């Protein structure tokens, strides 16, 4: 683990620079956990490669008086369209865990989504925040416990619930298996303490452990409606990969969508998130905000996502690299790097504000 590195290291100018340093400071099996994708890791690779294939159109001699990157999302104002995605167990990567991440997000005004599997209590993190937080939720098989978790998030002051829907089971991550990853002593999903575990229904070796009991209480669309009925908070669905699911979500009244393939960690050979985005944003047609994650490594990637209809993007692995390298200071620095790259991309494509970013900034084969 990191935790001794609080000063900015020299010669760090990009996400990739932070990744190289983080790989030297994170314990080997934890690094494998962070970096692994499912199966052959094709989707994991496509997430970044797809951005590289999208070309931009430059524009010159533009007026940039009063230019800005301000975003209003679900009633909250953010200085730029970049949020911190939910990532489990920040204490794996830095001794101060989610508190360091929250400190950084608050310092720079970035949105942060705390994971259900955080290594620190949701109340403890919220108490240190000076900017609004969202809470990521998995609907647990113990529905009573899930309702209590939602209530805790509301009481702690979280402003939205981000329901992850694309991982009813864990992805088969072979590289993580080969590393024999397990949580070290002292790190756990503390917000799930006390939850009743559902036993597997089958004892017959010929039966499938997955289909013969594990999925008997699996969340469905009915549970999304149930969640909406027990909370006053906006509900955002994370893990949308098809226009049909996007439409159904809108029909039952969700407040936002996040196009995501879970960082390539669940179902391998799903398309890259940026390749999924255009069809979904066309279907949604601005009825609710659409965000996306997966493969964001440069400010130009943010611009491309917004040009294809996203209102904002989320990053996961990149800010963990910075957290492991230099704690809260590193996360602030990384966000400033991406913001500067994004603003430069806006200038060089003639975009004065977020509303100016559209398909016209993309070369013809991606319009």
Both tokens assigned to 174? 């072979």
Q: State yes or no: is 90 an active-site residue.
A: no
Buried/exposed 110-131: b ≥16 CB within 10 Å, e otherwise: bbbbbbbbbbbbbebbbeebeb
How many C-beta atoms surround the C-beta of residue 72 within 10 A? 11
135 - beta bridge partners? Answer: 114, 161
- From the list 94, 262, 333, 366, the catalytic residue is 262
> Cα–Cα distance between 28 and 183 in angstroms, integer?
12
Contact 303, 358 (CB under 8 A): no
Q: Is 77 exposed, middle or buried (0-12, 13-18, 19+ CB in 10 A)?
A: exposed
Contact 53, 24 (CB under 8 A): no
314 - beta bridge partners? Answer: 83, 293
Place of tokens 């949020």: 83
Half-sphere exposure of residue 45, counting CA atoms within 13 Å on the CB side?
5
Contact 10, 333 (CB under 8 A): no
Q: Which segments of the chain are extended strands (E)?
A: 71-73, 76-78, 82-84, 111-114, 133-137, 161-164, 235-240, 256-259, 290-293, 312-315
Buried/exposed 200-220: b ≥16 CB within 10 Å, e otherwise: eeeeeeeeeeeeebbeeeebe
Contact 250, 287 (CB under 8 A): yes
* Catalytic (active-site) positions: 262
């Amino acid at each position: 683990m990191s935790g001794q590195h609080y000063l900015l290291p020299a010669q760090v100018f990009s996400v990739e620079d932070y990744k190289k340093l983080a790989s030297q400071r994170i314990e080997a099996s934890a690094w494998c956990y962070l970096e692994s994708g499912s199966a052959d890791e094709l989707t994991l690779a496509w997430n970044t490669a797809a951005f590289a294939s999208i070309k931009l159109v430059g524009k010159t001699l533009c007026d940039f008086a009063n230019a800005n990157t301000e975003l209003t999302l679900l009633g909250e104002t953010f200085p730029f369209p970049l949020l911190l995605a939910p990532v489990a167990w920040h204490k794996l990567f830095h001794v101060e865990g989610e508190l360091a991440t929250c400190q950084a997000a608050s310092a720079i005004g970035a949105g942060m989504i705390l994971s259900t599997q955080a290594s620190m209590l949701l109340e403890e993190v919220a108490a240190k925040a000076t900017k609004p937080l969202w809470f990521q939720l998995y609907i647990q098989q113990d529905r009573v416990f899930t309702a209590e978790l939602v209530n805790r998030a509301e009481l702690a002051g979280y402003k939205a619930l981000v329901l992850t829907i694309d991982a009813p089971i864990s992805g088969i991550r072979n590289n993580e298996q080969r590393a024999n990853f397990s949580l070290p002593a002292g790190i756990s999903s503390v917000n799930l303490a006390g939850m009743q575990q559902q036993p597997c229904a089958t004892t017959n070796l010929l039966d499938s452990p997955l289909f013969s009991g594990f999925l008997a209480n699996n969340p469905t669309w009915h549970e999304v409606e149930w969640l909406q009925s027990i909370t006053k908070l906006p509900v955002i669905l994370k893990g949308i990969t098809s226009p049909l699911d996007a439409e159904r979500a809108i029909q039952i009244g969700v407040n936002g969508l996040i196009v995501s393939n879970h960082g390539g960690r669940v179902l391998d050979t799903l398309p890259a998130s940026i390749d999924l985005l255009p069809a979904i944003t066309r279907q949604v047609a601005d009825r609710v905000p659409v965000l996306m994650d997966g493969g964001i490594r440069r400010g130009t990637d943010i611009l491309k996502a917004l040009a294809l209809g996203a209102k904002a993007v989320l990053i996961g692995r990149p800010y963990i690299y910075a957290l492991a390298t230099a704690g809260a200071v590193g996360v602030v620095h990384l966000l400033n790097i991406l913001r500067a790259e994004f603003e430069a991309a806006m200038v060089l494509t003639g975009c004065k504000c977020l509303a100016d970013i559209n398909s016209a900034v993309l070369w013809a084969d991606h319009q």
